[in-house]
Structure formats: C-alpha cells, structure tokens
Amino acid sequence: MRTRTRFAWLLAIVVVLGLATPGKAQLQRIRAEIAPVTGSDAVAAGSELRTALQITLPEGLHTNSNRPRDESLIPIRLRVNEIQQPDGSYAAAIPGITVNEIVFPAPTDLVQKGADQPLSVFERSFTIAVSMTVDASVPPGEITIPARLRYQACDETMCYIPTTAESGWTVKVVAANAAVKPLHEDVFAGIAWGTGDKPGDSPGGGTTAQASGELVAAAGSDPLARVGDFTVQGSTGGYLGSADFLQFISDAESGVQPKGMFDGRGPLAILLLVFLGGLALNLTPCVLPMIPINLAIIGAGAKAGSRGRGFWLGAAYGAAMAAVYGVLGLIVILTAGTFGTINSSPWFNLGIALLFVVLALAMFDVLIIDFSKYSTMFSVGQSGGGSLAVAFGMGAVAALLAGACVAPVVIQVVLFSSDLYAKGTTAALILPFFLGIGMATPWPLAGAGLSALPKPGAWMVRVKQVFGVFIFGTALYYGYEAYALFANRWVDATEVASSVEDMIKKEGWHASLAQGLDVAAREQKPVLIDMWATWCKNCLTMDKTTLADSQVTDALKGYVKVKFQAENPDEEPAKQVMQKFGAVGLPTYVILRPRAARD
C-alpha cells in the first residue's frame, strides 16, 4: 500500500536553513565550553599566580590528551600569554608573565571502532591548571592574560578536524605586600602541582610547542607582503588528475580563465533556465488545477468585472509569489555566509542528499508533501470584493503552501544560488526571485482572462516526474560528495607531513610563502602555491599521484613551488592567505606570475 505521509515544504526550508551553514554547524557540534578561574582574587607582584580552565565538551565527545598514543592524532595544546604575529610566530602578550607549568589531567582510554589501540583522551569535562609568575616589574592594575586552546575532538567512530578556542584570565595585580583572598579552592585542591609540563616539554604544554605533524615555516616577513608584485593567473581546488592539472597550468600560463556559469552568456542562460523552470511549475498537478479556483477566490478572472481589474489582481497574486520565493532565497543565501565551506562538511552533503531523496520520492507520489489543503483557511478574503491586498496575501499563502511540486525545485535553486554566491557571484541572489517571476507570469494574464489554460490531465504527472529525475540527480551528487568527504577524513597526519617534508627536501619546494615570493620576484619566475593540511587526505593523494607525474613535474620546472600549510583555516596566517586567494577548501592551488614578467 502506498505510503502517504504529509509534510510541510516549509519544514524542508527550515531544514535547509539549519544546514546551509555547514562550517558553523560542525564547529558548534564540537565546540568546547571554557570557564577560566583563578586561585585568588588578585596577585601580588613578584609572586605565583595559579589559574585553570574548566573545559566541557558536548555529550559523547572527548579530546586527545597532551600525549596521544597515535602520532597521527593532534595533541591538545595550550598557549598562555601569547599573541600571534603576521608571520605565524608568537610573542608575549604581557611582558613580565612567565609560565611555570601546565598541569593536564590524567588521561583515560577511549575504544574507537576500527582502531588498533584505544585512544588516550581527556574526558568530556576536565580541568587544565596553569602556574605563572607575575614579575615585580608588572605595574599594579587589571590585566588580561590570553589563553589559546587547540584540541581535536573524538568520539567512538572518528576524530574531527582540530579547532581552536580563545579564552583567558582577567587578574588584578596588587603591591608585593598586599593581601590576597583565595578563590575556587575546590578546583585547585585536586591539582598535582609540580608534575605538569614545563614550557616546551611536550606537544601539549608550554608556549613554543608545535602540534604533531605541523611544519613551521621560517619566520620573517608577512607571507602576503609581496603578493602585490604578482598577478593571479589561475586557481583551482580539490583532487585533479594529471590531465586536468596540466590543463590548469596551461590555462594559467596562457591567461585563459575558466568560464564560470555567469561568464559570457552565462547570466542570461541561467536566468532564462530558472525563469522557464518557474513557468513550468505552473503545469504541475499541484498548481494548474488550482489556478481557476484561486482566481475565483481573489475575485479575478470572470468575477473581476473588467479585464484591467482582473489583470492587476492576478499581478498582485503573482507578485506575492515572486516576493516570497525571492525573500526566502535571500534569507537562506545571506545567512549561509559559510556555504563556500560546503566541501568541509560531509554531514551537510549527506543531509541534503537524504532531503532530496525524500523530495524526489514526493515527485513520484511515493510520498505526499502538500499543505495546499490548508489554503482554504486563508480564503476568508474572498468576500472582500477582490482587493489587491487580499490578492497579494493569497499569493503569498499559495507560495508557501504550493506543496510537493514546488518545494524541491525552490530548495534546489536556493542551494545552487548559495553555492554561486559563496564563490563571489553576487548576481546569484536574484535567482530565487526569477524562479518566482517565472511562476507568477501566467497569473496577470489568467486574471484578465487573456490566456487559455491547458486542461488538467495525466500529462501533468509526467511534468512532475521530469522534475523528480532532476531532484534524484541532485541527491546522487550530494550523496557522492558526502562519501568523498567522509573518506577524505581518514588520513594519517604524519604521512601527510612526511610527504610534504620530502617534497621540500628533495624537489625544491618552499615551506615559506614569503620566501617563495621573494625568490620568484627576484628571479622573475611564476609561482605555484599548494595549500595543504595534515588532515587533508586529497592533499596526500595529490602529492603521491598528480604532483609526482613526470609530465606535471616537467611542466613545473620553471616555477617557484610553495607548500603553504593551512592547518587551521580559521586562524592567521592561514585565514588571511585563504581569503586572499578565495580558497574554500583544501587542497587549493594558485598560480601567480610576477607583474614585470607579465607586463
């Protein structure tokens, strides 16, 4: 027996609104709550200050300890009283503050599915204590000592991309002989002082430790200081086979920019396609049979009294539909500021794939998604003599309750628009509105009695099923993306770092972007920038396959090649570099050419 389950398409839009910010959603799921506490209400200059961070992760998560058993996993790391410089190095935030030790809790074992050995982790809630000395030279007054915690959250099935949280302690410095009052004695009583990590002792403690597998670029100038001396010839991302990568190099060298969907004839073609899609929605069984009924409700058509009045009533009705779709599209697109990071969220892709499977099934009547029956609740305005306000209101309601034939197409256009907008195509904002215009076009004509509507029939079902095929295709696309992204997470960070080190030592790649640009400017050579991270499986795959191909290495012989580590895309300098070149995922490849050589 056919399952007939009723859903509101508005619920689907809410789902999209929730999923359309994948980067933020993923961070929220693994974000730790951090409560800084101090051992006293003040600190006397020249004395010890004891502080702690009370950390709580979401249910079901743990963090790798400061000494994980698996070297490919990233240890927890706490930087205290440091600020990061543009070149990636660190300097003291407040002179006169010295870190004595960082005391981590005792780790426990987490048995992870498929792992050869249990992980060494800290429990969901734990405390990290820090002992510092406030030098006598620190003047009295209130100071804020910053702390930066980098951790990798894990559960029983996987370990997630490492993230960084900012915190710190606000402390009052008083004279050396002033009395201070103890605070939070219950927190500090259980701390094993004297057993902690000294600065630089381990990957987790101190102020100079580097995470496992992290390469340190040579300190020096701002990595982007010389970018102004170059022009961007081309950029690409993700895994590319040798032939595609060679084509990328050839296009960049010849100045050929790949045509985007909105380049050349792209805008007109896409606008026309979206417009026709909206127009075709009127031919579906969810909409076409309702046109005469809705015209009668708003007082248009035969009840209008004149063709002019009927035209304007129909136009108001259609304008409302276009406005609803346009506004919904804007809300989703503009609140999905991180849609460009879709490549980093397999859960987003999986969720959208499942959503489109459901919507596609609805197009084939396996499921019923239709709240149009509730439109009768809003038909009270029909006694109003066919006013424009009633017509506009009814059009807005009809747009929201159109049902299964409309919702999948609207969501698909909104997702497509969001992706284009995230890639810098501002014109994508109007696509949902154009879909609404297409759907609204017949209404003023029908309201004036100037159009002969097709007769409803079985052919309408075929129209809907054609839409269903496209929706299924979209589901398959997002499903494949989810599979690829899940697979990309399982990578040995040590192997990735080792591969990069080998390329730097044996093949002449640079680990510093600033140094690479200096060399390229001096020698007037083009530059290839390879942005990578230890958690990026495709980065390793590219190193082992495409970048090792003899044809590719020959094509790059005249280049200055730079391996830029973007381990934490939300931190400097990686954030600045990725934004500069429009990178939304890893790996990303950019080709630059010195201006003098080009000109």
432 lies in the same domain as 478 = yes
Output the pLDDT for position 17: 35
Mean pLDDT by 10 residues, the chain (599 residues): 34 36 47 92 94 92 86 82 72 90 92 76 93 92 93 79 86 92 91 82 43 37 78 88 93 74 56 76 60 57 59 79 78 56 59 73 65 44 54 70 58 70 67 79 70 54 66 73 64 82 89 89 94 86 94 95 87 82 83 75
457 lies in the same domain as 362 = yes
417 lies in the same domain as 512 = no
- Nearest residue to 244 via CA among 469, 571, 542, 490: 542
234 lies in the same domain as 353 = no
The pTM for the full model equals: 0.45
**What are the structure tokens assigned to 270, written together?**
């896409």
- Which of 487, 502, 524 represents a domain boundary (last residue)? 487
Burial class of residue 197 (count of CB atoms within 10 Å of its CB; 0-12, 13-18, 19+): buried
Output the pLDDT for position 375: 45
Q: Does a structural domain hold residue 6?
A: no
Output the pLDDT for position 43: 94
For the stretch 445-493, pLDDT in tens is 776 665 545 555 565 566 666 766 766 776 786 677 677 666 655 667 7
Q: Does a structural domain hold residue 286?
A: yes
64 lies in the same domain as 131 = yes
525 lies in the same domain as 404 = no
CATH number where 546 lies: 3.40.30.10
Instruction: Report the domain count for the chain.
Output: 3
- List, as own/partner pairs, every contact residues 79-84 make where C-beta atoms lie below 8 angstroms and the sequence separation is at least 24, other chains included: 79/147, 79/148, 79/149, 79/150, 79/207, 80/130, 80/132, 80/145, 80/146, 80/147, 80/207, 81/132, 81/145, 81/146, 81/147, 81/207, 82/146, 82/148, 82/207, 83/146, 84/571, 84/572
Q: Does a structural domain hold residue 91?
A: yes
Give 145-182 as a DSSP string. EEEEEEE-EE-SS-BPPPEEEEEEEEEEEE-TT----B
- Which of 487, 516, 539 represents a domain boundary (last residue)? 487
48 lies in the same domain as 145 = yes
468 lies in the same domain as 528 = no
- Nearest residue to 564 via CA among 514, 524, 525, 523: 514
- Which of 159, 188, 217 represents a domain boundary (last residue)? 188
Residue 539: how many other CB atoms lie within 10 Å: 27
Q: Does a structural domain hold residue 222?
A: no
150 lies in the same domain as 130 = yes
- Distance from C-alpha of 86 to C-alpha of 485, rounded to nearest angstrom: 31
418 lies in the same domain as 302 = yes
**What are the structure tokens assigned to 220, written together?**
């020096």
**What is the sign of the dihedral through the CA atoms of 425, 426, 427 and 430?**
positive
Angle ∠(334,339,344) on CA atoms, nearest 5 = 160
454 lies in the same domain as 365 = yes
Helix (H) or strand (E) holding 256: none
Which structural domain, as residue segments, surrounds residue 241? 227-258+491-598
Output the pLDDT for position 399: 66
C-beta separation of 246 from 107 below 8 A: no
Owner of token pair 């500090």: 188
CATH number where 35 lies: 2.60.40.1250
Angle ∠(528,257,330) on CA atoms, nearest 5 = 105
276 lies in the same domain as 400 = yes
